[in-house]
Amino acid sequence: MKSLRALLAGLALAAMVLPATFGSGVAADYKAEYKLSTVLGKPFPWGIGGDRWAELVKEKTNGRINVKMYPGSSLVNGDQTKEFTALRQGVIDMAVGSTINWSPQVKELNLFSLPFLMPDHKAMDALTQGPVGKQLFDLLATKDVVPLAWGENGFREISNSKRAISKPEDLKGLKIRVVGSPLYLDTFTALGANPTQMSWADAQPALSTGAVDGQENPLAVFVAAKLPTLGQKHLTLWGYVADPLIFVVNKEVWASWSKEDQEAVRAAAVQAAAEEIAISRKGITAQDDSLLKDIAAQGVEVVQLTPDQQKAFQAATKAVYEKWAKQIGPDLVKSAETSIAARK
């Protein structure tokens, strides 16, 4: 009798517990929420991409994996150059991160910051979608993360509050805010500017108070952050570097998911990244320059360098390129140059 009661009690307990673990399809060791880090949120293309990834993951895993985006590098208190370390340590589960912000920990990612390496979007695609992209993903895979797809922040154009820039001498003495890789300090020093390193969170107040004169960021960021309202009235399209974004998952988190869910998260990343790249390039091409028109309509003086003017900036930063090519790895840089030369 006693054992029958115990059996019934056991069955009742199982009936309560089992649906919770298996009925919803969520494995017992899945977290209730996975934290996705980004620097920029919506309406920046970067944030739209992160949010879209979260949405697609939910859809493709039937709600088994619930991702929440934390923009503003808030999981690392705004210090975007600590994001990769936090990701490795599992403080962050997933990220859509810029190669620039991870460069302090992964020196090879400085590749994309070599001045005037990539002349256009096709060059960028030749790197990310070719052998260089694969080599970098293989490298990241040895550093506790699973890289899934390449996205894009974009070509970083220079703006300032003081004067039009069309030759290196125009940069002389300008205080320019740069991001966290020392390569940027070298580049702007070589150009005669006065670079100062700070996070994106600190950059906006510094621009609005005039503590710094200028900054460099993709046009989509320039517009979404309303930089013309912070005194940034001179913009030069010089296309000196571009930063891709990388969609990644912490390795242990990845290993905790079923094969089926891993593939769903990967497919979601690939789709969200492709959509994000299209958004980041919108309005800044020869076919569609609507974003540039918007910028000019905000009273910004836009300078488009001629090829000869661009060569002057390239010449002034050549030594920086050579110094950093050695640090990044001469073979990797050579392979990047070859991929770019062969681009279609």
CA angle (174 as vertex; 171, 177 as ends), nearest 5: 110
Task: Please give the Cα distance from 29 to 15 (Å, whole number).
Answer: 19
User: Least distance from C-beta 215 to ligand X2X, angstroms?
Assistant: 7
Segment 163-182, which members bind ligand X2X (CB under 6 A)?
179
Task: Please give the Cα distance from 247 to 266 (Å, whole number).
Answer: 9
Segment 224-283, which members bind ligand X2X (CB under 6 A)?
243
Beta strand extents in the chain (DSSP E only) = 34-37, 67-70, 94-98, 145-160, 175-178, 194-197, 214-218, 234-237, 242-250, 301-304
User: Least distance from C-beta 206 to ligand X2X, angstroms?
Assistant: 12
> Closer to ligand X2X at the Cβ: 48 or 221?
221
Among 54, 94, 100, 124, interactor with ligand X2X by CB under 6 A? 100
Contact 25, 62 (CB under 8 A): yes
The window from 95-103, 124-132, 186-194, 325-333 that contacts ligand X2X (CB under 6 A) reads 95-103
Burial 253-266 (b: 16+ CB within 10 A, else e): bbeebeeebbebbb
Task: Please give the Cα distance from 261 to 112 (Å, whole number).
Answer: 32
Segment 25-84, which members bind ligand X2X (CB under 6 A)?
39-40, 80
User: Least distance from C-beta 85 to ligand X2X, angstroms?
Assistant: 15
Among 110, 153, 159, 181, interactor with ligand X2X by CB under 6 A? 153
Among 98, 103, 236, 262, interactor with ligand X2X by CB under 6 A? 98
Which positions lie near ligand X2X, rule CB under 6 A? Answer: 39-40, 80, 98, 100-101, 153, 179, 200, 217, 221, 243
